[in-house]
Structure 1
Amino acid sequence: METENTRPYFFGDIGCWSERTEVHKAASLGQVSRLQDLIQSGASVNIVAVDSVTPLHEACVRGQAQCVQLLLEAGAQVDARNVDGSTPLCEACSAGSLECVKILLEHGAKANPALTSRTASPLHEACMGGNSDCVKLLIEQGAGLEAYDLYYGTPLHVACANKHTDCVKVLLNAGAKVNAARLHDTPLHHAAKSMLVDMIEILVEFGANIYARDQHNKKPVDHTTPGSPSATYLQSYEVTPMSLQQLSRLAVRKKLGTGALKDIGQLDIPKILIGYLCYQ
């Protein structure tokens, strides 16, 4: 298959490259009929361009679900990696394409591909883009809640740093460790820097340590603006002991771990208590 030399083409954060095949182009543009014709004429669905980008990567980064389905049915490698180590699932999660994510997982894509020094996990990518539906689906497929990225930390760190409260809720309810640390930075430090009161409240309700010190020996409140709602909330919490009710909820959730939501729903207790334990 001949490559097409055109003007430089920018592929997300991967960089600039100019050699794309017709298969790459059709996959990227969602040209299903054209892609089908190319495949039937013998074009390889696993041909790589510069930076090891496959047509499947292209289709995923553009959210072209029909092309993703077609490529996989024609034998595209579902966990192919580009030069940075990103798989098509990483690209689909970054793009926020729930349909593409579903198709990839149905075809055996790994929810927990081995991390490299240059790439994050699919769950990190979904949290980075604030794609809470993708986050839920990945968790259902066993995505590692504590997968650790050298640059970002855990998915919860990523969700907090990027101000995605919905993703924070999903992760915490699934059992993510609220006090996970990266260079002593906790998710609460990130939320405090953004001064998002709703996010701060959620983290604290799930047991975030308001006294944790980061690498600069600062508590979360030290990253807020004095007199702001975020600062006021954290300061008030420092002088207000956690209620026995809250402590009991945290103890139950900690004991049940990542299976908390499923296990709590099976308890023979009033629905109002189930709702409280599930932070509903």
Structure 2
Amino acid sequence: MTSRLASIVITLDMERIQDAQLNIDANIVRESILQAPKIKLKPEHIKVLDIKKLEVVPPDADRSKINFQLNYLKNLLPSVVVKGIKTAERVVISKEEDKVTRMEKFKLLVEGTGLQEVMGIEGVEGRKTLSNHIIEVEQTLGIEAARKCIIEEIKFTMGSHGMSIDARHMMLLADVMTFRGEVLGITRFGIQKMDKSVLMLASFEKTADHLFNASVHGRDDQIEGVSECIIMGIPIQIGTGMIKVKQRLDPPALCQGPDPILS
């Protein structure tokens, strides 16, 4: 990119564009610049010189501001997205060979967002496309996919540190975060939406505030959850509840008569 007295000339590297198999020329770049919201240029400000070169003229005709306008355009023009997904900032391509078919396959690691747009690109296998953005997965594929994503992310993170966790624990945590039909984090705001128990809210954060508000509004607590039972010092109600364990406090009566073993 070079600058003249009152304009900026953009020259495209056509050899690199052809190696990347991109159908891009000066006319396509011109349309992308016109559609960029931050630059705010009109068609008369951009002139196509040839297939790989175009000239950009600042919109302000005031000579006293021409240098400022040129520097402003020079900083903004490289950020214009000509082709691809605007929310994808960087892509790393790795090549691997399929052990069964012996065919070369390419794996793309994309930094950014835009799961739906990535899945819709020609050549990308949508069923094998994964994302660690839980909220975006829930908005694109649904709450069940978000639950699965939470489990996989916990497994990957813990496995990277050499720790093995039973899958049922991860499933339980994922169920707690998604059972209301939306992804709720284990934070102060997420806990408030998960349960209406006063003691459970008080056990997490802002204990005095939760207890004070509950007393003012006359709220009661059934003490059915794990946190509530631990706070009150009573047995935790877990499992199906089909079996009750009772403790006999009175000593059993002694057997009367001779011992059958000694008789």
TM-score norm. by structure 1 comes to: 0.29
Larger-gyration structure (1/2):
2
TM-score norm. by structure 2 comes to: 0.30
- Indicate the structure with greater strand content: 2
